[in-house]
Structure formats: structure tokens, C-alpha cells
């Protein structure tokens, strides 16, 4: 992917005096704004109201952000529960002095679970359709959002790859390193572009959106397959790498892939869409 060794030492935030505007946070904002725009077009195509779209945005933001944060804490940084509890839910660090950090430490597995739960609640309270109807459509903007989240990780020099063992790759200067690593974040971001394009194509150019669960299942299979294979060149996060053949991220990805295959090829809805 890289013809040269790149020394990566970016500015992570803009200091506005009263707080630091992190580019990682801007990537999340960009993801939600673009996702909202995509979903607006889908809702217009489906004849759904703007009021239900506004509610979807609220449910999505709260659910995904909360789930991503809790997922990170549960799977990768459980010590925060006892050492700095309020930093779990707030964009601040309290241990060792008060500091605005932005929303950092977000896990995609937690976000995926929270997305399903929040869409269930949204459907029950607002949409009143099959929950798979909304899941089949919301995964399209979610796939586009995943691209920007991984770019944010690259800006932050986090979720880095393993050393390449060659002269090619990225040297993460802010980590005090001198040897090139795989830019695993960019591998994922680039792959997620194709996940989005495939989902977008199947929704607009085929009738697969009429098959309940297919697009949702396709999303799970594509996204978590990408995640599974990129993990081979990704450095361990905290306690995730042990003596197992696979790491935590890969073990957590496998169930999502099988669930996706089930919805693509085996799921039979009990009732038809209204």
C-alpha cells in the first residue's frame, strides 16, 4: 500500500483556549452528518417522515456512542470502572487532574451491539415496522461512518499495526517510535469504503432490500470479515493478546459473521413488511 516510509506526527487537536477540539471527535461528527444525509435520502425513497428521521438520528447518536464507550471499557479497559468511573460517560479525565479529553476509547463491537438495541427501541417507540426493516437500511450510513472513525484512529496514532519488518509503512512519531508499522487503521478505512459501496449498490440497484435481514446480514459479514483479517496485522490492545491463536477482536468478530450469514441465507420472517 505504501511506496515510502511515512513519518506520522500530526496535530491531534485545535487548542481553542477553553477546550481542545480533537480531530478524532470531528471525524465522529463527520460520520454522523454524512450518515444523516444518506439516511435522509433513503427515508425519502421509502416515504418516511422527517420527524421519524430526526428521532432516528437521536437514537443512533446516543446508542452508538454509549455502546462504543461501554464496549471499550468492558472489553479493553475495565479498570476505569474503579479508577475513573465518570470518565466512562463524560468527555473528561478526572484521575490525575481534570482534563477535557473528548470521546476517546470507543469499541466497534460495543457500537454494533448498541446499534441493534437502539434500533429496536426506535422501532418500538417511533417507526412501528419490523426492526429488521430499519437495520437493513441504517447499516448503509453506519458503514460510511466506520471509514471516518478509523481515519480518526489514524490521526490519534491509536489501534496501530504491527511492525512491518521492512522499510515500508508508517512510523508513529508521537509514540516515540522509529520503525515502520502497518497502518492498520487505513487498511480498515479503505476496506470499509467498499463495504459501503456494496451495501449502497444492493439497496439502490437490486431488490434485496425487500428481503428482510439480507442487507443487515451482508453488513455483518463484510464488516466483521474485514475486522477479522486486519487483526492479523494489528498490534494488541491492552489485554487482548494472550496465548490464544486469535485475539479478542477476532473472537468477538466471529459471532457477528455467523449471525450475518444466518440473516442472509436462512432467516425467514414470520410476517411480511407493512
The CA distance from 126 to 267, in Å, is: 25
Q: Quick one: cell of 176?
A: 516515540
For the annotated binding site, the residues are 150
Calculate the alpha carbon distances from 46 to 40, 50, 140, 227, 270 in Å.
10, 11, 14, 31, 22
> Which residue shows C-alpha cell 506520522?
8
Under 8 Å between Cβ of 115 and 256: no
Q: Quick one: cell of 84?
A: 475513573
The CA distance from 32 to 61, in Å, is: 7
Give the max Cα distance, the chain.
Answer: 59
The CA distance from 220 to 213, in Å, is: 11
Question: 240-267 b/e with 16+ CB inside 10 Å = b?
Answer: beeeeebbbbbebbeebbebbeebbeeb
The strand pairing partners of 93, in sequence order, are: 99
Nearest to 136 by CA among 181, 82, 202: 202
Q: Quick one: cell of 18?
A: 477553553
Q: Quick one: cell of 33?
A: 452528518
The CA distance from 121 to 118, in Å, is: 5
Amino acid at each position: 500500500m505504501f511506496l515510502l516510509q511515512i513519518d506520522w506526527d500530526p496535530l491531534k487537536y485545535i487548542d481553542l483556549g477553553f477546550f481542545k477540539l480533537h480531530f478524532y471527535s470531528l471525524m465522529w461528527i463527520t460520520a454522523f452528518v454524512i450518515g444523516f444525509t444518506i439516511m435522509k435520502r433513503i427515508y425519502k425513497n421509502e416515504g418516511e417522515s422527517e420527524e421519524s428521521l430526526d428521532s432516528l438520528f437521536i437514537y443512533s447518536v446516543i446508542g452508538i456512542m454509549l455502546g462504543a464507550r461501554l464496549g471499550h471499557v468492558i472489553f479493553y479497559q475495565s479498570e476505569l470502572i474503579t479508577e475513573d468511573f465518570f470518565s466512562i460517560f463524560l468527555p473528561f479525565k478526572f484521575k490525575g487532574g481534570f482534563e477535557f479529553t473528548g470521546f476517546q476509547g470507543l469499541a466497534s463491537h460495543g457500537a454494533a451491539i448498541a446499534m441493534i438495541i437502539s434500533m429496536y427501541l426506535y422501532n418500538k417507540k417511533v417507526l412501528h415496522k419490523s426492526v429488521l426493516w430499519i437495520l437493513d437500511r441504517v447499516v448503509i450510513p453506519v458503514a460510511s461512518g466506520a471509514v471516518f472513525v478509523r481515519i480518526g484512529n489514524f490521526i490519534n496514532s491509536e489501534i496501530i499495526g504491527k511492525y512491518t519488518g521492512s522499510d515500508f509503512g508508517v512510523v508513529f512519531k508521537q509514540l516515540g517510535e522509529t520503525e515502520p508499522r502497518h497502518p492498520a487503521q487505513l487498511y480498515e478505512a479503505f476496506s470499509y469504503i467498499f463495504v459501503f459501496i456494496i451495501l449502497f449498490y444492493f439497496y439502490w440497484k437490486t431488490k434485496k432490500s425487500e428481503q428482510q435481514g439480507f442487507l443487515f446480514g451482508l453488513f455483518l459479514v463484510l464488516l466483521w470479515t474485514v475486522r477479522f483479517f486486519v487483526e492479523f496485522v494489528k498490534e494488541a490492545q491492552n489485554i487482548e493478546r494472550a496465548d490464544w491463536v486469535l485475539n479478542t477482536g477476532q473472537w468477538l468478530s466471529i459471532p457477528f459473521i455467523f449471525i450475518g450469514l444466518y440473516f442472509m441465507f436462512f432467516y425467514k420472517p414470520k410476517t411480511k413488511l407493512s
